[in-house]
Structure 1
Amino acid sequence: MGRKPQDQTSRETLAREAGPVRRWLTGYFRRRVRDDDEVEDLVQDVFTRIVARDSEESVGHLGGYVLRTAASVLADRARRRAVRRSDLHVVLDTDRMGDDELDPERVLSGREDLHAVTAALLSLPERTRTVFVLRRLEGQRHADIARHLGISISAVEKHMVRAMRHLSAEMEKRDGA
């Protein structure tokens, strides 16, 4: 089945009120979104949803409908960000990280470092390694790790200290060799 066309009155109303609505939406999203680059995308998403709505009924109160749609777009954005954990993403600083081509020697050195860290991690006792991985790689809190493993928070802290000391000593041995 195809999409039902909107009635002409509804389209004319949308066209006539698009300018003020766009300005209002821009302000609405700027107050709620930190990234100005996203504001225009969100405004466009609202208009796309309004135009694509599958209904022959005209909108009774356009302002209320736009507000509900904008809130829905914002909620969808929040869900996407939560799923993608985009709040944890870090912008690549090319000044610090460099944007040079990868030097084969640097790649080899990086691989050797990775193998050394992996070997050092694998040489830890299993519980200490598990605590370290849950904390440093998974980002879990000490209390959550303690609850998950059935140990005290103090024990989690002691395992972390043991792991850090061991890894530091292993890396110092490697760098000194």
Structure 2
Amino acid sequence: MLASYYAELLNFFSRSLNDRQAAADVVQESYARVLALQAREVAVRDLRALLFRTGKNIVIDDARRRQVDAQLLQTLALVAADDAPSTERVIASRQQLELLVRRLTAMPRKRREVFVLVRIYGFSHAEAAAHMDISIASVEKHVVRAVCGCMGLDT
């Protein structure tokens, strides 16, 4: 039954993202999440709608993650932009870095470790899950909560 929606999902997300490979990744992750729900025997009324909603949520989460990454890169670029940055820039950058370090330090150990594996070392969610012996869903939750924590949002 799940296979009958694959082409429709792939075409929809290919048009939305203008990238067939990224769309295939979204569809694959959508299927994995829905199958995980079914494995836990969660009742699903409209499988097609759930697959589409799950895919849209994945795209939104990815966009948010990229936005945080872009802000972090922008901050780092400000620090590295000048050979002799102004005193104000140095102080502001140090304060931002200190705030980020405080927020990371305040996180639970496992959340911080997952965040470092995924965001700093570039592990995939599956690789981080295997490395830490936790589920992929747990890795996803830790990463989302860690990103929110770095941004100062309550999780």
Fold match (TM-score > 0.5): no
Which of the pair has the greater relative contact order for Cα pairs under 8 Å at 6+ separation?
Answer: 1
* Structure with greater proportional helix content: 2
TM-score, with length taken from structure 2: 0.45
Larger radius of gyration: 1
